[in-house]
Amino acid sequence: MDSVSGQCPSHRRVWSGLAAEAGDAEVGILGVPFDGAASYRKGAALAPARIREITPHMAPVTEEGERLAGLRIRDYGDVSVDRDWGRLFAAVKAEAARVLQHPFAVFLGGDHSVTIPLTAAFSETSCDRWGVVHVDAHVDLADEFEGRSWSHACTARRVLERSGIRPDDLAFVGIRSFLDDELAFLEAHPQIAVHTAREVARRGVGTVVEHVVARLHGVDTVYVTLDIDALDPAYAPGTGTPEAGGLSTRELLEFLRGIFSGLPVRALDIVEVSPPLDCADVTSFAAAKVVYEALGWMKAGLARR
Protein backbone atom coordinates (compact mmCIF):
# COMPACT_ATOMS: atom_id res chain seq x y z
CA MET A 1 0.00 0.00 0.00
CA ASP A 2 1.29 3.44 -0.92
CA SER A 3 1.55 5.37 2.35
CA VAL A 4 0.82 8.68 0.62
CA SER A 5 -2.06 7.85 -1.70
CA GLY A 6 -3.43 4.90 0.24
CA GLN A 7 -3.48 2.84 -2.94
CA CYS A 8 -1.50 -0.19 -4.05
CA PRO A 9 1.27 0.70 -6.51
CA SER A 10 0.34 -0.34 -10.04
CA HIS A 11 2.84 -3.20 -10.18
CA ARG A 12 1.21 -4.76 -7.11
CA ARG A 13 -2.11 -5.16 -8.86
CA VAL A 14 -3.41 -8.18 -10.76
CA TRP A 15 -1.37 -8.95 -13.88
CA SER A 16 1.34 -6.64 -12.52
CA GLY A 17 -0.77 -3.60 -13.31
CA LEU A 18 -1.23 -4.47 -16.99
CA ALA A 19 -4.98 -5.10 -16.66
CA ALA A 20 -7.22 -2.68 -18.53
CA GLU A 21 -10.89 -2.52 -19.47
CA ALA A 22 -10.09 -1.52 -23.04
CA GLY A 23 -12.04 -3.40 -25.67
CA ASP A 24 -9.05 -3.13 -28.00
CA ALA A 25 -6.57 -4.57 -25.48
CA GLU A 26 -3.94 -6.77 -27.07
CA VAL A 27 -4.66 -9.68 -24.72
CA GLY A 28 -7.86 -11.22 -23.41
CA ILE A 29 -7.86 -13.60 -20.43
CA LEU A 30 -10.60 -15.94 -19.21
CA GLY A 31 -10.68 -18.40 -16.32
CA VAL A 32 -12.60 -21.67 -16.49
CA PRO A 33 -12.67 -22.99 -12.90
CA PHE A 34 -14.03 -26.45 -13.65
CA ASP A 35 -12.55 -29.80 -12.65
CA GLY A 36 -15.64 -31.99 -12.86
CA ALA A 37 -14.16 -34.05 -15.69
CA ALA A 38 -10.95 -34.96 -13.87
CA SER A 39 -10.64 -38.73 -13.51
CA TYR A 40 -8.36 -38.77 -10.48
CA ARG A 41 -7.41 -35.97 -8.08
CA LYS A 42 -9.23 -32.66 -8.39
CA GLY A 43 -8.41 -29.10 -7.35
CA ALA A 44 -7.82 -27.54 -10.79
CA ALA A 45 -10.97 -25.46 -10.37
CA LEU A 46 -8.99 -23.28 -7.95
CA ALA A 47 -6.16 -22.56 -10.40
CA PRO A 48 -7.45 -19.41 -12.13
CA ALA A 49 -7.86 -17.62 -8.82
CA ARG A 50 -4.49 -18.75 -7.48
CA ILE A 51 -2.59 -17.79 -10.62
CA ARG A 52 -4.15 -14.33 -10.53
CA GLU A 53 -3.22 -13.99 -6.84
CA ILE A 54 0.41 -14.58 -7.73
CA THR A 55 0.63 -11.98 -10.49
CA PRO A 56 0.87 -8.87 -8.27
CA HIS A 57 4.16 -10.31 -7.04
CA MET A 58 5.64 -10.76 -10.50
CA ALA A 59 7.50 -8.06 -12.39
CA PRO A 60 5.99 -7.09 -15.78
CA VAL A 61 9.21 -8.10 -17.50
CA THR A 62 10.26 -11.26 -19.36
CA GLU A 63 13.18 -13.42 -18.32
CA GLU A 64 15.39 -11.67 -20.88
CA GLY A 65 14.52 -8.19 -19.69
CA GLU A 66 11.87 -7.29 -22.24
CA ARG A 67 9.36 -4.92 -20.65
CA LEU A 68 5.68 -5.77 -20.85
CA ALA A 69 4.73 -2.17 -20.02
CA GLY A 70 2.36 -0.79 -22.63
CA LEU A 71 0.73 -4.15 -23.17
CA ARG A 72 -2.93 -4.10 -22.19
CA ILE A 73 -4.71 -7.11 -20.73
CA ARG A 74 -8.47 -7.37 -20.45
CA ASP A 75 -9.35 -9.99 -17.85
CA TYR A 76 -12.89 -11.25 -18.31
CA GLY A 77 -12.89 -13.06 -14.97
CA ASP A 78 -14.19 -16.60 -14.69
CA VAL A 79 -16.97 -18.47 -16.44
CA SER A 80 -19.77 -19.39 -14.03
CA VAL A 81 -19.49 -23.11 -13.42
CA ASP A 82 -22.50 -25.29 -14.15
CA ARG A 83 -22.69 -28.97 -13.19
CA ASP A 84 -24.52 -29.68 -16.42
CA TRP A 85 -21.79 -30.23 -19.03
CA GLY A 86 -23.96 -29.12 -21.94
CA ARG A 87 -24.78 -25.78 -20.37
CA LEU A 88 -21.18 -25.31 -19.23
CA PHE A 89 -19.90 -26.11 -22.73
CA ALA A 90 -22.20 -23.47 -24.20
CA ALA A 91 -21.21 -20.85 -21.61
CA VAL A 92 -17.48 -21.44 -22.03
CA LYS A 93 -17.78 -21.35 -25.80
CA ALA A 94 -19.72 -18.07 -25.73
CA GLU A 95 -17.31 -16.38 -23.31
CA ALA A 96 -14.27 -17.66 -25.21
CA ALA A 97 -15.60 -16.17 -28.44
CA ARG A 98 -15.51 -12.73 -26.77
CA VAL A 99 -11.95 -13.23 -25.55
CA LEU A 100 -10.83 -14.43 -28.98
CA GLN A 101 -11.72 -11.03 -30.43
CA HIS A 102 -8.39 -9.84 -29.00
CA PRO A 103 -5.17 -10.49 -30.94
CA PHE A 104 -4.08 -13.00 -28.29
CA ALA A 105 -6.16 -15.05 -25.85
CA VAL A 106 -5.12 -16.80 -22.63
CA PHE A 107 -7.38 -19.32 -20.93
CA LEU A 108 -6.80 -20.60 -17.40
CA GLY A 109 -8.28 -23.99 -16.51
CA GLY A 110 -9.63 -26.03 -14.96
CA ASP A 111 -9.08 -29.62 -16.01
CA HIS A 112 -8.24 -30.43 -19.61
CA SER A 113 -11.85 -30.98 -20.63
CA VAL A 114 -12.28 -27.19 -20.78
CA THR A 115 -10.17 -27.18 -23.94
CA ILE A 116 -13.06 -28.88 -25.74
CA PRO A 117 -15.40 -25.85 -25.70
CA LEU A 118 -12.47 -23.43 -25.92
CA THR A 119 -11.31 -24.96 -29.19
CA ALA A 120 -14.91 -25.11 -30.39
CA ALA A 121 -14.98 -21.33 -30.11
CA PHE A 122 -11.51 -21.09 -31.64
CA SER A 123 -12.55 -23.15 -34.67
CA GLU A 124 -15.47 -20.80 -35.36
CA THR A 125 -13.34 -17.66 -35.11
CA SER A 126 -10.34 -18.96 -37.05
CA CYS A 127 -9.47 -19.04 -40.72
CA ASP A 128 -10.02 -22.07 -42.91
CA ARG A 129 -7.16 -24.15 -41.51
CA TRP A 130 -5.89 -24.16 -37.94
CA GLY A 131 -3.58 -26.33 -35.89
CA VAL A 132 -3.04 -27.42 -32.30
CA VAL A 133 0.15 -27.92 -30.33
CA HIS A 134 -0.81 -30.16 -27.42
CA VAL A 135 1.84 -30.20 -24.66
CA ASP A 136 1.02 -32.92 -22.16
CA ALA A 137 2.07 -36.15 -20.50
CA HIS A 138 -1.00 -37.79 -22.09
CA VAL A 139 -2.45 -37.72 -25.60
CA ASP A 140 -6.08 -37.42 -24.41
CA LEU A 141 -7.32 -39.31 -27.47
CA ALA A 142 -9.83 -41.61 -25.76
CA ASP A 143 -13.20 -41.59 -27.48
CA GLU A 144 -14.84 -42.15 -24.10
CA PHE A 145 -13.40 -42.51 -20.61
CA GLU A 146 -15.32 -43.78 -17.61
CA GLY A 147 -18.55 -43.32 -19.53
CA ARG A 148 -17.96 -39.72 -20.55
CA SER A 149 -17.07 -38.42 -23.97
CA TRP A 150 -16.13 -35.06 -22.43
CA SER A 151 -13.62 -36.45 -19.93
CA HIS A 152 -10.23 -34.75 -19.71
CA ALA A 153 -8.92 -37.96 -21.31
CA CYS A 154 -10.94 -37.19 -24.48
CA THR A 155 -9.80 -33.63 -25.19
CA ALA A 156 -7.75 -34.15 -28.34
CA ARG A 157 -10.27 -36.64 -29.76
CA ARG A 158 -13.01 -34.03 -29.51
CA VAL A 159 -10.73 -31.34 -30.96
CA LEU A 160 -10.17 -33.44 -34.07
CA GLU A 161 -13.92 -33.50 -34.65
CA ARG A 162 -13.96 -29.73 -35.21
CA SER A 163 -13.96 -28.25 -38.69
CA GLY A 164 -10.77 -26.70 -40.00
CA ILE A 165 -8.29 -29.02 -38.30
CA ARG A 166 -6.71 -32.12 -39.83
CA PRO A 167 -4.89 -34.93 -38.04
CA ASP A 168 -1.59 -33.80 -39.55
CA ASP A 169 -2.14 -30.35 -38.02
CA LEU A 170 -2.10 -31.76 -34.49
CA ALA A 171 1.25 -32.18 -32.72
CA PHE A 172 1.80 -33.70 -29.29
CA VAL A 173 4.87 -32.91 -27.19
CA GLY A 174 6.00 -34.30 -23.82
CA ILE A 175 3.98 -37.51 -24.07
CA ARG A 176 4.81 -40.48 -21.82
CA SER A 177 1.51 -42.25 -21.13
CA PHE A 178 -1.04 -43.98 -23.39
CA LEU A 179 -4.31 -45.90 -23.14
CA ASP A 180 -4.88 -48.91 -25.40
CA ASP A 181 -7.56 -47.22 -27.49
CA GLU A 182 -5.36 -44.16 -27.85
CA LEU A 183 -2.57 -46.31 -29.29
CA ALA A 184 -5.08 -47.87 -31.68
CA PHE A 185 -6.23 -44.42 -32.79
CA LEU A 186 -2.65 -43.29 -33.38
CA GLU A 187 -1.92 -46.44 -35.38
CA ALA A 188 -4.94 -45.62 -37.56
CA HIS A 189 -3.80 -41.99 -37.94
CA PRO A 190 -0.02 -42.09 -38.40
CA GLN A 191 -0.06 -38.52 -39.70
CA ILE A 192 -0.50 -37.23 -36.12
CA ALA A 193 2.88 -36.11 -34.76
CA VAL A 194 3.78 -37.48 -31.33
CA HIS A 195 6.97 -36.26 -29.68
CA THR A 196 7.55 -38.04 -26.40
CA ALA A 197 9.33 -36.58 -23.39
CA ARG A 198 12.13 -39.06 -24.04
CA GLU A 199 12.52 -37.72 -27.57
CA VAL A 200 12.83 -34.19 -26.20
CA ALA A 201 15.53 -35.38 -23.78
CA ARG A 202 17.45 -37.37 -26.39
CA ARG A 203 17.13 -35.18 -29.49
CA GLY A 204 16.87 -31.80 -27.85
CA VAL A 205 14.21 -29.13 -27.67
CA GLY A 206 15.44 -27.35 -30.80
CA THR A 207 15.03 -30.41 -32.99
CA VAL A 208 11.49 -31.01 -31.75
CA VAL A 209 10.60 -27.36 -32.32
CA GLU A 210 11.86 -27.61 -35.91
CA HIS A 211 9.73 -30.70 -36.55
CA VAL A 212 6.57 -29.16 -35.09
CA VAL A 213 7.02 -25.86 -36.93
CA ALA A 214 7.66 -27.68 -40.20
CA ARG A 215 4.59 -29.86 -39.66
CA LEU A 216 2.23 -26.95 -38.96
CA HIS A 217 3.79 -24.38 -41.28
CA GLY A 218 0.75 -24.32 -43.59
CA VAL A 219 -1.91 -23.49 -41.00
CA ASP A 220 -3.50 -20.05 -40.72
CA THR A 221 -3.45 -19.94 -36.93
CA VAL A 222 -2.45 -22.10 -33.95
CA TYR A 223 -3.96 -22.97 -30.59
CA VAL A 224 -1.52 -24.11 -27.90
CA THR A 225 -2.90 -26.21 -25.06
CA LEU A 226 -0.58 -26.83 -22.12
CA ASP A 227 -1.41 -29.46 -19.55
CA ILE A 228 0.95 -28.62 -16.72
CA ASP A 229 1.65 -32.33 -16.18
CA ALA A 230 3.84 -32.13 -19.28
CA LEU A 231 6.37 -30.96 -16.72
CA ASP A 232 8.06 -33.56 -14.58
CA PRO A 233 6.46 -33.73 -11.10
CA ALA A 234 9.71 -32.31 -9.72
CA TYR A 235 8.81 -29.05 -11.50
CA ALA A 236 5.01 -29.28 -11.22
CA PRO A 237 3.89 -31.37 -8.24
CA GLY A 238 0.46 -29.73 -8.08
CA THR A 239 -1.45 -31.65 -10.71
CA GLY A 240 -4.00 -34.44 -10.64
CA THR A 241 -2.32 -37.13 -12.76
CA PRO A 242 1.46 -36.62 -12.61
CA GLU A 243 3.78 -38.77 -14.71
CA ALA A 244 7.47 -39.15 -13.91
CA GLY A 245 10.05 -38.45 -16.60
CA GLY A 246 8.65 -35.20 -17.94
CA LEU A 247 9.99 -31.93 -19.27
CA SER A 248 11.91 -29.47 -17.16
CA THR A 249 10.60 -25.93 -16.86
CA ARG A 250 13.56 -24.77 -18.93
CA GLU A 251 12.75 -27.25 -21.71
CA LEU A 252 9.11 -26.17 -21.69
CA LEU A 253 9.94 -22.48 -21.96
CA GLU A 254 12.45 -23.08 -24.75
CA PHE A 255 9.97 -25.21 -26.66
CA LEU A 256 7.17 -22.66 -26.35
CA ARG A 257 9.51 -19.84 -27.31
CA GLY A 258 10.28 -21.66 -30.55
CA ILE A 259 6.62 -22.34 -31.26
CA PHE A 260 5.59 -18.72 -30.69
CA SER A 261 8.45 -17.57 -32.89
CA GLY A 262 7.81 -20.00 -35.72
CA LEU A 263 4.02 -20.33 -35.84
CA PRO A 264 1.00 -17.96 -35.81
CA VAL A 265 -0.09 -18.68 -32.24
CA ARG A 266 -3.34 -16.93 -31.38
CA ALA A 267 -4.42 -18.65 -28.17
CA LEU A 268 -2.91 -20.46 -25.20
CA ASP A 269 -4.60 -22.42 -22.45
CA ILE A 270 -2.97 -23.76 -19.30
CA VAL A 271 -4.83 -26.53 -17.53
CA GLU A 272 -4.59 -29.12 -14.75
CA VAL A 273 -2.84 -26.88 -12.21
CA SER A 274 -4.19 -28.01 -8.82
CA PRO A 275 -3.31 -25.61 -5.98
CA PRO A 276 -4.48 -27.99 -3.20
CA LEU A 277 -1.96 -30.58 -4.43
CA ASP A 278 0.83 -28.06 -4.90
CA CYS A 279 3.96 -27.51 -2.85
CA ALA A 280 4.83 -23.85 -2.08
CA ASP A 281 2.86 -22.81 -5.19
CA VAL A 282 5.61 -24.25 -7.40
CA THR A 283 3.13 -25.33 -10.08
CA SER A 284 1.08 -22.14 -10.01
CA PHE A 285 4.23 -20.06 -10.33
CA ALA A 286 5.34 -22.18 -13.30
CA ALA A 287 1.99 -21.57 -14.98
CA ALA A 288 2.19 -17.84 -14.31
CA LYS A 289 5.73 -17.76 -15.69
CA VAL A 290 4.55 -19.35 -18.93
CA VAL A 291 1.82 -16.71 -19.25
CA TYR A 292 4.24 -13.82 -18.74
CA GLU A 293 6.78 -15.20 -21.19
CA ALA A 294 3.99 -15.79 -23.72
CA LEU A 295 2.94 -12.16 -23.32
CA GLY A 296 6.49 -11.15 -24.15
CA TRP A 297 6.66 -13.40 -27.21
CA MET A 298 3.29 -12.12 -28.36
CA LYS A 299 4.33 -8.49 -27.86
CA ALA A 300 7.52 -9.07 -29.85
CA GLY A 301 5.46 -10.63 -32.63
CA LEU A 302 3.15 -7.64 -32.80
CA ALA A 303 6.14 -5.32 -32.98
CA ARG A 304 7.48 -7.23 -36.01
CA ARG A 305 4.26 -6.80 -38.00
Closest to 57 (Cα-Cα) out of 303, 289, 275: 289
Q: Residue 299 in contact with residue 26, Cβ under 8 Å?
A: yes
* Paired strand residues for 183: none
The distance in angstroms from the start CA to the end CA of the chain is 39
Write down the pLDDT at residue 4. Answer: 43
Asked if 149 contacts 172 with a C-beta cutoff of 8 angstroms, the reply is no
Q: How far apart are CA 114 and CA 5, in angstroms?
A: 41
Distance of CA 208 to the CA centre of its chain: 19
CATH match of 11-304 with 3.40.800.10: yes
Segment 152-165 shows an average pLDDT of 92
Judged against a pLDDT cut of 80, whether residue 238 lies above it is answered with yes
Question: Could you give phi then psi for residue 53, rounded to 5 degrees?
Answer: -60, -25
- pLDDT value at position 145? 75
**What element of type H or E holds 304?**
helix 282-304
Q: How many secondary structure helices (H) and strands (E) does the chain include?
A: 9, 8
Average the pLDDT over each of 104-108, 145-149, 264-268 and give the range with the smallest value: 145-149
Question: Mean pLDDT across the stretch 237-260?
Answer: 97
> Torsion angle of alpha carbons 279, 111, 25, 101, nearest 10°?
170
Nearest CA-CA partner of 214 in 166, 252, 258, 271: 258
Residue 35 or 247, more confident: 247
pLDDT for residue 2: 47
